[in-house]
Amino acid sequence: MTVGRILERKGYGLETVSPSTTIAAISHHLNDQGIGAVVIVDDSGRLKGIVSERDIVRALAAHGPSALDKPAHEIMTANVITATEDEPVDEIMRLMTESKFRHVPIARDGKLVGLVSIGDLVKHRITELEKETEAFRAYIRAA
Amino acid sequence: MTVGRILERKGYGLETVSPSTTIAAISHHLNDQGIGAVVIVDDSGRLKGIVSERDIVRALAAHGPSALDKPAHEIMTANVITATEDEPVDEIMRLMTESKFRHVPIARDGKLVGLVSIGDLVKHRITELEKETEAFRAYIRAA
């Protein structure tokens, strides 16, 4: 199973904002969209980082109220791992768990096409394991 | 498998603060402890609510910088579901997914003894399903 299949089910597309977007504006955006992170891209659409709920709380702890006026590029997680649609889900899951990332942007030919969260992967993995277990049960019933 | 077994592995105990604790102080606390939520209890140790990273971002969107001076009881999620150690993991998982809660405080004889996150449950569920699948594989190899 590849990451592309997850995006087919979840839907392609992702929420992006520019590096100069303030944390105040990003908080509104996350709240309005009911999401946990936005991807930061420059004018050419190049990936610069991710700002998650956790990044915002960390910035508040470090800077107090002035964190809200700061641009995304000052508080974002800049070290972001991306993946392509053909990568196996298990590999991405292992990578996320190891590096403690919760979101992985998915790129196709160098362009961002979606965002996969650890929640998406885990939901998928549970469904897959339940199906496999059910198949084994059916096999044993038939034996 | 019960919720108690999850706590045995993860560790008992939970981070609590009083309802008057400011969001600024809670942000520091979450950041220092590397956790995603604190449980709000009154002087008698009674559960009043939960403040998560998402609650903080929502408060920032609603109130701007002044959110940081607000006490926990003004922005917390007050509608919290608790569970006891003897409840089945699957039941809690279903409940969390349905009601979109990410954290469930665990009580024993009316006293809070731990906090289980959806991440804890999911981690457990994956391990369990992988074990079951492996057992089926062994059965089929032996057949």
| Rounded Cα distance, B69 and A38, in Å | 26
H or E element in which residue A77 lies: none
The DSSP code sequence of A92-106 is: HHHHHHHHT-SEEEE
Chain A nearest CA to B59, separation (Å) = 9
- Residue A33: is its pLDDT beyond 80? yes
| Rounded Cα distance, B86 and B5, in Å | 9
**What is the tens place of the pLDDT at every residue in A102-128?**
899 999 998 999 999 877 877 777 777
User: Distance from CA of residue B105 to its chain's centroid?
Assistant: 6
Helix residue ranges per DSSP H, chain B? 3-10, 23-33, 53-63, 72-75, 89-99, 118-142
| Rounded Cα distance, A61 and A42, in Å | 27
User: Is the Cβ pair A68, B56 closer than 8 Å?
Assistant: no
Averaged confidence pLDDT in chain B: 90
Ramachandran assignment for A62, one of left (phi > 0), alpha (psi -120 to 50 degrees), beta (any other): alpha
Among the partner-chain residues B27, B122, B137, the one whose CB lies closest to the CB of A57 is B27
Among the partner-chain residues A57, A129, A136, the one whose CB lies closest to the CB of B53 is A57
Task: Quote the ipTM score.
Answer: 0.82
Closest chain B residue to the Cα of A136, Cα to Cα: B136
Amino acid at B25: A
Token pair for residue A71? 């641009």
Chain B interface residues facing chain A, Cβ-Cβ under 8 Å? 23-24, 27-28, 30-32, 36, 53-54, 56-58, 60-62, 64-66, 68, 122, 125-126, 129-130, 132-133, 136-137, 139-140, 143
pLDDT in tens, chain B (143 residues): 899 999 998 899 999 999 999 999 999 999 999 889 999 999 998 999 999 999 999 999 999 999 999 999 999 999 999 999 999 887 887 788 777 788 999 999 989 999 998 778 777 877 777 888 888 888 888 87
| Interface mutation vs chain A, best among B22, B60, B96, B97, most A CBs within 10 Å | B60
Phi, psi of A132 (to 5 degrees): -65, -45
**What is the tens place of the pLDDT at every residue in A34-78?**
889 999 999 998 999 999 999 999 999 999 999 999 999 999 999
- Cβ atoms within 10 A of the Cβ of A2, count? 16
Amino acid at A119: G
- Cβ atoms within 10 A of the Cβ of A140, count? 12
Among the partner-chain residues A32, A57, A64, the one whose CB lies closest to the CB of B56 is A57
| Rounded Cα distance, B73 and A40, in Å | 33
